[in-house]
Amino acid sequence: MHASADHRIVVLHGKESFLRSEHTRRVLACLRERCGAVDEFSFDGASCSLADVLDELRSYGLMSQHKVVVVDQGEQFMQGEDRRRAMERYAQSPMPDATLILRSAAWRPGTFDRLVAAVGVILKCEAPGPAEAVRWAVARCQKRHGVELSAAGAQALVERVGPDLGRLDSELGKLAIGALSAGAGERVVITPELVKEFTGPSREEQAWEIQGALATGDPAQALTKVDELLRISRAPEAVLVWSTIDLVRKMHDAAALAAQGESDGAIAKQLKLWGDGAAVVLRCARSVPLARAAALLQAAVAADRRMKRGLSPEPSRAIEALAVQVSAGFGRLDRSR
């Protein structure tokens, strides 16, 4: 379902800001096609008054036949019994020459929603799952950029950047330019190889990069890698924190098993370790005293808890500090042996 020029009230709610913006753009495009010029007015629902919005909706435009009033933070704007009742009355008889768009990450349904259904539409804007994101990327690339994105290429792209539509759309623009530059007049197709060349590392690759840097025991190298992942690769902060805790937890558990006399093979099997990552964890486990491994794990979990509770005002700085602490814990041991 989409909003159209016939809808006098449009509610767009959900955490996917890209979809909220896209639906708004479509409404404006439909209205311009029907009415020509359209006046736009924007309000912050957290600070504007009810009178500000209603006066704008009810006043006639001086330069165009139709006006669009966009209110962000829509849920906050609707808070309060008197305000909600006033908006319910407006929804029963909205202005024919004005469209109200309420946008909000969260939304509390009620009587207003039922009234809106008669004169408008309520659309949920949530991030899609990976499979839906793959289909969306294929269709979006062809429609927006005129370039074919193969199914395998779309799968590789979603695996690398996740299902966030805003991020996907940005990457599609870069990939389309890259594909057209390399196409030389032939059929232009974005392949997995092109995705790998033009986009940052996948979340799994980002996790291994930070873990590999931490395991070197060199705080300067770990700090450089964290900075690169945060500011260049735009790795999600949550991925870096999870990766750090994952490495320290595995190392702690492996150290505990090693202290019990378990072999490397038995440890790897119990903890489901494999590849280069297994070698790193096992090497650290054989070197780091169990008490230090426990202290590092406790520090990592505590840092994660502080960030989740909003007690770390700058999460990136907290991640950098944690990386230095963990890598120094490994490094001190290497220099002492």
What residue type is 1 in one-letter code?
A: M
Number of domains in the chain: 3
Tell me what pLDDT residue 268 has. Answer: 86
Compute the Cα dihedral for 180, 184, 189, 195 and give only its sign: negative
Which residue in the block uniquely carries the two structure tokens 């595995």? Answer: 250
Q: Is 2 inside any structural domain? A: no
Q: What number of residues does the chain have? A: 337
Residues 211 and 303 occupy one common structural domain: yes
Alpha-helix runs per DSSP H in the chain: 17-35, 50-58, 74-77, 81-92, 111-119, 130-140, 151-161, 165-183, 192-198, 203-215, 219-231, 237-259, 264-271, 275-287, 290-308, 315-336
Tens digit of each residue's pLDDT (9 = 90 or more) over 53-69: 999 999 876 677 899 99
Residues 105 and 143 occupy one common structural domain: no
Report the CATH number that the domain containing residue 301 is assigned in CATH.
1.20.272.10
Residue ending a domain, choose from 147, 170, 198: 198
Structural domain including 189 reads 130-198
Q: Is 295 inside any structural domain? A: yes
Strand partners, 72: 44
Q: Is 244 inside any structural domain? A: yes
Residues 332 and 207 occupy one common structural domain: yes
Residues 213 and 182 occupy one common structural domain: no
Q: Is the pLDDT of residue 204 over 70?
A: no
Q: Is the pLDDT of residue 336 over 60?
A: no
Report the CATH number that the domain containing residue 84 is assigned in CATH.
3.40.50.300
Tens digit of each residue's pLDDT (9 = 90 or more) over 306-329: 888 877 778 888 899 999 999 888
Strand partners, 336: none
58 in Cβ contact with 20 (< 8 Å):
no
